[in-house]
């Protein structure tokens, strides 16, 4: 017999001797006393040929012996029933139902995807939409209804739902046609030409941007103020010439930002110079570029100046002649160097001319240096004034230009003695103001220049003598002792009476020196 553990339901085969005995489950180790409720009832098993149950007696007997007599009744059948109703649907009806459903559903999908204002059916008018869906509803609904004859109610319901949805499409998605106008053939051709022209221009623009390598310019324009970005595309310029042009532009644009150069093309004769953070306008920089070539075009929207460099304007110097003062072409070569776009070449030429004797081309060289003075750097201004002191002649008006340059240098404390000496020699208006200001800042350096003025020094010193500090009074006393006149003694004594420092002794010494010379 089979028993079952009451805790884990594990079954075991045992003999009947175990009834009433306590056993231990081999699966969960639970102990229990075997009783009738632990015995598993087994179903009777029967095999062919065995008759262990009375119910098996029926096998091998006739139906009459088993069931007894049967009472028969006459069957009645409905007349005129169609085979299509009671039988399976025919293939053509199935195909019709499927085709009708597909047509209706597909029409709904088309309207959902393309019937909106931006869809491909937007130009179909609302009236035409209703005509279209009505045709589709009749066609698709008819096919669907025909194909569902064996399930008439369900087919009719499907026809109503799908046809109703199709007929509702023009209401949900009304027409939104684009207004069309009749254009004369000539105008249409002209419009086509305009479109073609615009397409060609767009393509030409893309080709041009690719040619000049516009990407660095685009990046600079996007990352900062667009109007401060300037790009110069140089054609027919060697790398050396491009370097000279870049150096010239750096100096001419007040050195606000160092230029960046890019090689372009395969010949090595094209390049792009990029300037950023510029204060000058695109047209102003184009005017600077015109000095060394021909401007092809200026693209304000692209911030690009396109030009062809003319080597003759950059200039080629004869090194032997430009460096040899004894050469007959020394002045002409250095005059040419003054027009060179390379600032280093110009600076060296100015320094050479400042220590050479003026011979040929003196007016031309003077005019060139005067034209350079207003726009040059402060360092160049200092050297130009030294050279002009040698080359300029009285009556050429150079003192006015030099005075303006000296005023600019004075603001940055870069005025040297040669500049002041030049102004004193030309008796330029305003020289006294600059000289006195320089002397007050550094009496030791400028006292010698005041002494060189002779009696003119007391004209400058006496009006401000009582306003000077002790060191300045001592320096002024030394100058007055050398160049002062007897007429200055009363004013010196008046100032001396007000002082009680070392300046008083210096003023007395100045009076004594004046009296000795008188």
Query: Tens digits of per-residue pLDDT, 273-293?
Result: 999 999 999 999 999 899 888
- Please answer whether residues 245 and 237 qualify as being in contact, where contact means their C-beta atoms are separated by less than 8 angstroms: yes
For residue 213, the model assigns a pLDDT of 93
Output b/e per residue, 417-438; b: 16+ Cβ within 10 A: ebbbbbbbebebeebeebbbeb
Contacts 24+ apart (CB under 8 A), 446-450: 446/420, 447/475, 447/478, 447/479, 449/417, 449/420, 449/421, 449/424, 450/479
Residue indicated by tokens 């204002």: 117
- Is residue 410's pLDDT more than 90? yes
Query: CA 272 to CA 218: how far, in whole Å?
Result: 13
- Is residue 69's pLDDT more than 60? no
- Is residue 255's pLDDT more than 60? yes
- Please answer whether residues 465 and 473 qualify as being in contact, where contact means their C-beta atoms are separated by less than 8 angstroms: yes
Residue 356 in tokens = 């050479």
- Is residue 216's pLDDT more than 90? yes
Query: CA 241 to CA 501: how far, in whole Å?
Result: 65
The tens digit of pLDDT for each residue in 473-498 reads 999 999 999 999 999 999 999 988 88
- Please answer whether residues 440 and 473 qualify as being in contact, where contact means their C-beta atoms are separated by less than 8 angstroms: no
- Please answer whether residues 162 and 111 qualify as being in contact, where contact means their C-beta atoms are separated by less than 8 angstroms: no
For residue 379, the model assigns a pLDDT of 93
Looking at the chain, the whole-number percentage of residues with pLDDT higher than 70 is 87
The tens digit of pLDDT for each residue in 151-182 reads 878 888 888 898 999 899 888 888 765 544 45
Q: Are strands 230-235 and 304-309 parallel, antiparallel or unpaired?
A: parallel
Query: CA 100 to CA 145: how far, in whole Å?
Result: 8
User: DSSP 3-state assignment of 192?
Assistant: helix
Using pLDDT thresholds of 50, 70 and 90, give the confidence band for residue 297: very high
- Is residue 245's pLDDT more than 70? yes
Output b/e per residue, 62-71; b: 16+ Cβ within 10 A: eeeeeeeeee
For residue 180, the model assigns a pLDDT of 46
The tens digit of pLDDT for each residue in 175-208 reads 765 544 455 666 666 666 777 788 899 999 999 9
- Is residue 146's pLDDT more than 90? no
User: Region 207-213: what's the mean pLDDT?
Assistant: 93
C-alpha closest to that of 503 among 459, 461, 449: 461
For residue 10, the model assigns a pLDDT of 87
Residue 61 in tokens = 């007997």
With residue 24 as reference, give the H or E element that holds it: strand 22-24
For the chain, the average pLDDT equals 84
Residue 273 in tokens = 């110079």
User: Region 106-125: what's the mean pLDDT?
Assistant: 83
For residue 345, the model assigns a pLDDT of 86
Selected residue with higher pLDDT from 266 and 80: 266
Q: Which of 66-80, 231-245, 440-454 has the lowest mean pLDDT?
A: 66-80
User: Region 86-97: what's the mean pLDDT?
Assistant: 77
Torsion angles phi and psi, residue 144, rounded to 5: -65, -40
């Amino acid at each position: 017999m089979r028993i079952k553990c009451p805790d884990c339901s594990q079954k075991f085969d045992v003999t009947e001797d175990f009834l009433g005995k306590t056993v231990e489950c081999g699966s969960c180790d639970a102990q229990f006393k075997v009783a009738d409720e632990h015995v598993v009832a087994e179903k009777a098993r029967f095999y062919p040929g065995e008759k262990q149950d009375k119910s098996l007696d029926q096998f091998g007997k006739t139906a009459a012996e088993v069931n007894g007599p049967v009472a028969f009744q006459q069957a009645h059948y409905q007349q005129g029933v169609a085979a299509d109703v009671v039988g399976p649907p025919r293939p053509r009806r199935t195909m019709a139902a499927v085709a009708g459903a597909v047509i209706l559903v597909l029409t709904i999908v088309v309207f959902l995807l393309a019937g909106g204002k931006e869809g491909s059916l937007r130009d179909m008018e609302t009236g035409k939409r209703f005509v279209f869906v009505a045709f589709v509803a009749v066609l698709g609904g008819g096919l669907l209804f025909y194909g569902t004859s064996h399930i008439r109610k369900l087919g009719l319901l499907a026809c109503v739902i799908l046809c109703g949805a199709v007929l509702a499409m023009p209401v949900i998605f009304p027409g939104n046609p684009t207004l069309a106008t009749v254009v004369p053939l000539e105008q249409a051709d002209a419009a086509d030409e305009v479109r073609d022209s615009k397409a060609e221009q767009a393509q030409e623009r893309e080709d041009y941007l690719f040619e000049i390598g516009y990407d660095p310019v685009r990046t600079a324009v996007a990352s900062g103020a667009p109007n401060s970005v300037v790009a110069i595309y140089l054609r027919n310029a060697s790398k050396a010439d491009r370097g000279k042009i870049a150096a010239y532009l750096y100096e001419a644009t007040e050195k606000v930002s160092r230029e960046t150069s890019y090689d372009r093309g395969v010949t090595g004769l094209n390049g792009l110079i990029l300037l950023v953070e510029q204060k000058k306008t695109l047209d102003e920089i184009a005017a600077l570029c015109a000095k060394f070539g021909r401007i092809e075009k200026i693209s304000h929207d692209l911030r690009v100046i396109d030009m062809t460099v003319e080597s003759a304007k950059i200039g080629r110097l004869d090194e032997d002649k430009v460096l040899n003062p004894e050469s007959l072409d020394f002045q002409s070569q250095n005059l040419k160097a003054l027009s060179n776009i390379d600032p280093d070449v110009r600076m060296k030429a100015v320094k050479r001319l400042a220590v050479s004797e003026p011979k040929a081309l003196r007016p031309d060289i003077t005019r060139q240096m005067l034209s350079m003075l207003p726009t040059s750097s402060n360092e160049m201004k200092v050297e130009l004034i030294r050279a002009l002191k040698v080359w300029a002649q009285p009556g050429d008006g150079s003192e006015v230009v030099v005075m303006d340059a000296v005023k600019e240098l004075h603001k940055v404390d870069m005025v040297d003695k040669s500049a002041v000496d030049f102004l004193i020699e030309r008796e330029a208006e305003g020289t006294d103001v600059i000289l006195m200001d320089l002397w007050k800042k550094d009496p030791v350096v400028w006292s010698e220049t005041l002494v060189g003025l002779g009696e003119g020094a007391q004209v400058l010193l006496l009006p401000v003598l009582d306003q000077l500090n002790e060191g300045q009074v001592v320096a002024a006393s030394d100058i007055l002792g050398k160049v002062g006149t007897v007429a200055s003694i009363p004013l010196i004594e008046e100032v001396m009476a007000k002082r009680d420092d070392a300046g008083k002794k210096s003023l007395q010494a100045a009076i004594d020196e004046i009296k000795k010379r008188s």
